[in-house]
Every structure is written in structure tokens, then in C-alpha cells.
Amino acid sequence: MLVRFIDPDGCEHLVEGEAGESAMRCATRALIPGIIGECGGAMACATCHCYATPPDGATLPDPAAQERDMIDGCIDTRPTSRLTCQVVLAPELEGITFIVPASQV
């Protein structure tokens, strides 16, 4: 499945994602600028924040309380803000877009 990342410079990256992996893993594997995931996906570092737009007809599950708390502490949040370590890729999300914020810090 293809996942689209738009990095802080506006460059688009199409990455082959695997169902079941997190969007953060997919991004770091492809060395997408600006997505660090330094804690490894434990919602402890807030360095994998992105704005997520699922494809037409698909929705993401709402963030759990801990993810919501972490997003509250991120920079330049929007209603579409997510921690990519908590977004699990699935076939129905084919073509999902993640915009990387200008800075995580």
C-alpha cells in the first residue's frame, strides 16, 4: 500500500507501507525528514507528530487519551494532528497523506 508523506520543505514522498506497521515506522524506514520517532513508538518523545488526511471514505480511529495528551504538548497542532507511531497502516488507508510539521520542537 502506498503512503504519502509531505516533508517540511513541501517535497512529496511516496512510500510502500506494510499493513500492520505504524506510519512512524514506515516514515523512518524511508528516512522521511522531520519524523524522528526517537522513543521507538511508546508515545514518550513527541517527535513523530504529523497532520493526517486519510483517503476518501476512510477514517482513522480517534486518538487514545495518552496520544491526545501528547499531541496537546506538540508544536503547531491542528485538528488532524496525530502521532504517527499510533497510526497503524491498513489496506483501506491506501493513499493516506501525512504532512510533516515545519518543526517537531
Partner 1 sequence: MNAVTPLMPDIDFAHDDVPNLHELIDELRAHGPVVPVRYHGSPVWLIMDHGLLKGAFEDYVHFDATEGYKLIAEPSMGKTLQTMAGEEHRVSRALVNPLFMPVKVRSYVEALIEPIAHELCDRIEGQREVEFVSAFARPYPFLVITRLLGIPVEDEARFMEWAIKMIDFPWDPEGSVRAKEEFDAYMQAIIDDRRANPGDDFVSRLAHAEYEGQKLSDERILSFLGLLFPAGSDTTYKNGSSLFAELLGKPELCAMARGSDKDREAIVTEGLRWQPPTAFLPRMASADVDFGGVRIAKGDWTLFGITAANNDPAVFPDPRRFDPSRDNREILTFGRSTHFCLGMHVARRELETALRVVFERFPNIRLKPGQDVQHVGAVLRGVRHMIVQPYGEA
**Minimum gap (Å) between residue 35 Cβ and partner 1:** 9
Q: Give the list of residues 6+ apart from residue 29 with CB closer than 8 angstroms, or none.
A: 15
Which grid coordinates are listed for 62? Answer: 480517534
By CB under 8 A, residue 38 contacts partner 1: yes
Nearer to partner 1, 39 or 88 (CB): 39
By CB under 8 A, residue 100 contacts partner 1: no
d(CA 6, CA 20): 21
Residue type, 77: T
By CB under 8 A, residue 15 contacts partner 1: no
Strand partners for 76:
none
Residues forming the site for partner 1 (CB under 8 A): 28, 31, 36-40, 42, 44-46, 66, 69-70, 72-75, 104-105
